[in-house]
Amino acid sequence: MNKLTIITALLAILCMAACTETKTSTEIKVVGDLGDPKPTYLNTFGMLNPILQAQSIEDSVITFEIDTAEATIVVIARGAERRSPLVCSVIADGSPIEVTITDGAGEISKGSVQNLKLAEARNRQKALDAKYDVLREEYGQLREKYGEEIPEAQQADIDKRWDDIDAEKLAAQKQAILENADNLVPIFFLCKYANDLGVEFIDSFLTDYKYKDHKQLDYVYRMINGEKNKMEGAEVVDFVAKDLEGKECHLTDYVGKGKYVLVDFWASWCGPCCAEVPNVKANYEKYKEKGFEVVGVSLDYKQEDWEKKVQALGITWPQMSDLKGWDSDVCSLYNIYAIPQVLLYNPDGKVIAGPWLHGEGLSNKLAEIFGE
């Protein structure tokens, strides 16, 4: 065999080695009070799609063995369905992990340094959640005593203490992210609390985050982009759906055509959305001759439900939907994670208000625009 043949063979071997995906195996044991149904599924963190069933199930020990191309967060669950009760999230990083279940709740009891840090940060969150429980109980006692007529001072005190816990919890989430910038713990908090943490904080952190390109952050980047599409000054982002007659239509058929346009994200099954319709209707009738339009973007699943509710509520403005509910493309484009949400566009197709512009706030904004 000549030198050229040998070199060519070696290069081929090296290429094959480089192209072969190296996987890391992680053993995860679940022990303690397993409960029923037993936690025998591993789901991907975020989308919660089942990826693995337990390989070993004994009376008090469940064992998973998962191979991953990179360290990744997985969730131990009690079933394959997306709504199955979740037990605990762990970082599959090659080190053995043990999760102990007590009273139905699971927590990491053994594992790598980053897994133990995840457990510590989660426990801080649980301690704050317990404060909410105490406050809920206290509020329930006030409701029993006063009914709907809770004294103003006591109601204000409850509201303030609730807000204080909110602020404390948000601070703890940010702390968990910032103090773990060298591991995967931030991915758990960024994905779970993205809508609370805010675009500015997340954007700033991800700029230099070691794992900013990790595949499990895809959702966070979509959320950031969606929120930016709702910010004041953002230009309309088009999407395609169908109107009530089944005709294809674009959001840009209405927005950016010389009118002020309120895009109303709603659904027939959403009580608060339907309750807001009379207010939208009153403003629509008041200003439609002055250059105001409304477009309803429905997150319905069934054409029949959508049509019936439009008729029952007397909605006369344009409607569009792809009938995919929460899986609608518009949810990703505009980070629609709760409804009702609205966006108010100027005649040039740029956002001037939203997404929580409802009730008196909407009426006041339109009065400001149209000089009423």
Distances (CA, A) of 219 to 153, 216, 222, 225, 333: 42, 7, 5, 10, 12
76 against 51, higher pLDDT? 76
Over 50: is that where the pLDDT of 285 sits?
Answer: yes
Share above pLDDT 90 across residues of the chain, in percent, rounded to a whole number = 83
Over 90: is that where the pLDDT of 264 sits?
Answer: yes
Query: What local confidence, expressed as pLDDT, does residue 16 receive?
Result: 47
Over 70: is that where the pLDDT of 19 sits?
Answer: no
Across the strands, what pairs with 149? none
The maximal CA–CA distance of the chain, rounded, in angstroms, is: 96
Query: What local confidence, expressed as pLDDT, does residue 56 receive?
Result: 85
pLDDT bracket for residue 2 (50, 70, 90) = low
Joined together, the tokens standing for residue 308 give 């019936």
Q: Taking a C-beta distance cutoff of 8 angstroms, is the pair 44, 70 a contact?
A: no
The Cα–Cα gap between 327 and 349 comes to: 25
Query: How large is the average pLDDT for residues 320-341?
Result: 95
- pTM listed for this prediction: 0.83
Query: What local confidence, expressed as pLDDT, does residue 11 receive?
Result: 47
Contacts of 298 (CB under 8 A, 6+ apart): 266, 267, 268, 306, 319, 320, 321, 323
Please state whether beta strands 97-102 and 86-92 pair in parallel, antiparallel, or not at all (unpaired): unpaired
pLDDT bracket for residue 18 (50, 70, 90) = very low
Rounded mean pLDDT of the chain? 91
Query: How large is the average pLDDT for residues 97-113?
Result: 95
Query: What local confidence, expressed as pLDDT, does residue 207 receive?
Result: 96
Kindly tell me the burial class for residue 58, based on how many C-beta atoms sit within 10 Å of its own C-beta (0-12, 13-18, 19 or more).
exposed
Over 60: is that where the pLDDT of 61 sits?
Answer: yes
Over 70: is that where the pLDDT of 3 sits?
Answer: no
pLDDT bracket for residue 51 (50, 70, 90) = confident
Query: How large is the average pLDDT for residues 83-99?
Result: 93
The Cα–Cα gap between 221 and 239 comes to: 19
Query: What local confidence, expressed as pLDDT, does residue 21 receive?
Result: 53
Express each pLDDT in 186-222 by its tens digit.
999 999 999 999 999 999 999 999 999 999 999 899 9
Residue 73 has, within 13 A of its CA and on its CB side, a CA count of 26
In three-state form (DSSP H/G/I as H, E/B as E, the rest C), the secondary structure along the chain is CCHHHHHHHHHHHHHHHHHCCCCEEEEEEEEECCCCCCCCEEEECCCCCEEEECCEECCCEEEEEEEECCCEEEEEECCCCCCCCEEEEEEECCCCEEEEEECCEEEEEECCHHHHHHHHHHHHHHHHHHHHHHHHHHHHHHHHHHCCCCCHHHHHHHHHHHHHHHHHHHHHHHHHHHCCCCCCHHHHHHHHCHHHHCHHHHHHHHHHCCCCCCHHHHHHHHHHHHHHCCCCCCECCCCEEECCCCCEEEHHHCCCCCCEEEEEEECCCCHHHHHHHHHHHHHHHHHHHHCEEEEEEECCCCHHHHHHHHHHHCCCCCEEECCCHHHCHHHHHCCCCCCCEEEEECCCCEEEECCCCCHHHHHHHHHHHHCC
Give the strand order in the sheet containing 105-110. Answer: 56-57, 61-68, 24-32, 97-102, 105-110
pLDDT bracket for residue 291 (50, 70, 90) = very high
Share above pLDDT 70 across residues of the chain, in percent, rounded to a whole number = 93
Q: Lowest-confidence range among 12-26, 239-253, 275-289?
A: 12-26
Query: How large is the average pLDDT for residues 294-310?
Result: 97
N- to C-terminal Cα separation, the chain: 92
Query: How large is the average pLDDT for residues 218-229?
Result: 94
Query: What local confidence, expressed as pLDDT, does residue 231 receive?
Result: 95
Query: How large is the average pLDDT for residues 127-141?
Result: 95
Query: How large is the average pLDDT for residues 20-26?
Result: 74
Query: How large is the average pLDDT for residues 335-348?
Result: 97
